[in-house]
Structure 1
């Protein structure tokens, strides 16, 4: 086994000896951090507004799922809320004006009847002292007057109650019912809103994963976006170069497809080193320690870079 490895180790050593010149740049490649756009509710894909390779602006419609059920549910929840609010307003206002008018008319009639009965009682008492009527007739007049007074008091109390708002417990119950109806309506609004998705920011449509007519499970991405700010360059540098390649440092990018001098800024340096092959830990291989570095190109530069593209990174 040692005999088989020896030629490869010798070859690696010879290559290292022949490459004593400092590299003109660091080799890397472009990566993309894709944004998967999905709906929180399941449904059949009814509209697909974006196609692969298209540039979309922020807020542009991307896709829509069938929403007949959610639309009907939202209308039902809105009607339930309106009913609860109407019941609460009716409870706070007491009886309707027409009902109060009827009670006031009955009260006026009772007042007249009470006055008439009282006057009859007074006359019958005078007639009894004069001997014009029997005592039984006076008792009947007194009873009629008492009954008329009682009916008058009852109608006055009924009118007072009719003008009062509803009872506190009943009002609290209706308020809780209104809160529940509002929550149900908000839930229906959310479910309906999930059926149509828009671009969260300007981006390239990297891929579409469903076709119109297919069933889309809840949370399953329908398409993937690549915003310019999500394009990054990943490259590896030796330990000795870390001093000038720290987060915030500026670098330039070059490639055959995008030209030279593209501006980028380092935003991440790996805290741990990696080894380039052959993977042998010794003092002689310390120069093979490399650190992964990620840089974000400017918005203008990011538009010209495609994920997977090899680039050369140069420190400024």
Structure 2
């Protein structure tokens, strides 16, 4: 080989080596897997709000798509019968309570004043009889009074003392409750039963005016004023933000590296960056994307359903049915499953 031919051969060989090394580098970079991510979609548990009693719908206080706060009125039913029954029970409870108070109270004020006056009069008579008896007890032995007069004074004194005791008992009776213990207990039981009946009828009346159990968005209105709604038939579909979750499917080789409570990244069209979610469900059974016969070759088609809840305050970024990409924070390229998974702090 001539010197010129050798140089041409060396140059061609160098070119081949450069191209081979470049192709090998391109092949190595192209075979390195990208950070793992899975396709999913947003879903939600809607709260279907229904009346507890059948009745005609009389008013709606919200519109489809409106944001409502917890406790905000949603709709009303006809409550004429419940209001009348409640008012009747309230009157019966008032009557029972007044009868109980009457049995528990003392006598009328004028009767008490009369009893006090009678006691004072009896005490005055008793004091006079006692004074007469003391004088006769001194005069009778000296012969200034007869023994018969002294005995009469002693009897008058004892009678006056008995009258004082009777008037004191009459005053105590006037100050004590007018009813007997058994009467008071029976009437207290009647008042308690009337109170319970009133509470039950008030509850039925309150059920005719339904409020939002939680804050959220009115997703749909299923009945309108003038319609008779059966008990348990939904009138409004409410979507609380905390009821939104992300459903996604993970291939069988990667699911063993994901756990309940792991943090995942969430992204969607038009959503801000930095959205996160926490895995709160991993299906216990696998499923196939297409109907295939189970075999070692088809294991790549085996997937598991997982659910992730967005962080509080971020759930409003998603709408049910919206496509969402689920990934792993700080995932690194590798040959298999992710090397690091962030666990949510409870």
Same fold (TM over 0.5): yes
More strand, by proportion: 1
Report Cα offsets for 1:134-190 as digits up to 9, x if no partner.
xxxxxxxxxxxxxxxx99998886665444322111111011111101111111221
Q: Which residue among 74, 81, 94 is the counterpart of 2:93? A: 81
Q: Which has the higher Rg, Structure 1 or Structure 2?
A: 2
Counterpart for residue 232 of structure 2: 219
Give the secondary structure class of the aligned counterpart of 1:83.
Answer: helix
What is the rounded CA distance, in whole Å, between the counterparts of 1:264 and 1:111 in structure 2?
A: 90
List aligned pairs for 1:1-316, cutoff 5 A.
25-101=37-113, 161-165=173-177, 166-256=179-269, 258=271, 262-316=275-329
- Which structure 1 segments of 5+ residues have no match? 1-19, 113-149
- Say whether the 8 Å CA contact 2:281–2:308 is kept in structure 1: yes
Aligned equivalents of 1:68 and 1:109: distance in 2?
62
Q: Is contact 1:245-1:315 (8 Å) kept? A: no
Structure 1 residues 315 and 103: alpha-carbon distance in aligned structure 2, compared to 1, 3 A threshold: same
Q: Could you tell me the TM-score, scaled by structure 1's length?
A: 0.72
SS of residue in 2 equivalent to 1:303: helix
User: Are the structure 2 counterparts of residues 101 and 259 from structure 1 closer, same or farther at C-alpha, using a change threshold of 3 Å?
Assistant: closer
Paired residue secondary structure (1:179): helix
- CA distance in 2 between counterparts of 1:93 and 1:300 reads 60
Determine if contact 2:82/2:204 at 8 Å carries over to the other structure: yes
Please state how far the C-alpha of 1:295 moved relative to its aligned partner. 0.7
Deviation string 1:59-102 (CA, Å, 9 cap, x unpaired) is 22111112222222222222222221211111112321234456
Q: Give, in whole Å, the separation in 2 of the partners of 1:108 and 1:73.
A: 53
Which residue of the partner structure matches residue 26 of structure 2?
none
* 8 A contact 1:237–1:290 mirrored in 2: yes
How far apart, in 2, do the equivalents of 1:214 and 1:189 lie?
24
Q: Who is 2:25 aligned against?
A: none
* Secondary structure at the counterpart of residue 317 of structure 2: coil
Say if 1:293 and 1:106 are closer, same or farther in 2 by CA, change over 3 A.
same
Q: Is the 8 A contact 2:36 2:328 kept in 1?
A: no
Whole-angstrom CA distance in 2 between matches of 1:23 and 1:103:
99
**How far is the alpha carbon of 1:39 from its aligned partner?**
2.1
Structure 2 unaligned runs (5+)?
1-31, 125-161, 330-346
Q: Distance between the aligned counterparts of 1:282 and 1:210, measured in 2? A: 51
Contact 1:44 1:213 in 2 (8 A): yes
Change (3 A) 1:260 1:98: same
SS of equivalent to 1:220: coil
Show CA shifts across 1:74-131 (max 9, x none). 222222222212111111123212344566778899999xxxxxxxxxxxxxxxxxxx
- Residue 224 of structure 1, CA deviation: 0.9
Kept in 2, the 8 Å contact 1:59–1:200? The answer is yes
Aligned residues: 267
Q: Is the 8 A contact 1:252 1:260 kept in 2?
A: no
Q: Is the 8 A contact 1:38 1:219 kept in 2?
A: yes
How far off is 1:257 after superposition? 5.3
Separation in 2, partners of 1:111, 1:269? 92
For 1:193 and 1:109, how far apart are their aligned partners in 2?
61
Cα RMSD (Å) of the superposition? 3.4
Q: Tell me the distance in 1 between the aligned counterparts of 2:201 and 2:36.
A: 60
Quote how far apart the aligned CAs of 1:33 are.
0.2
Q: Secondary structure at the match of 1:28?
A: strand
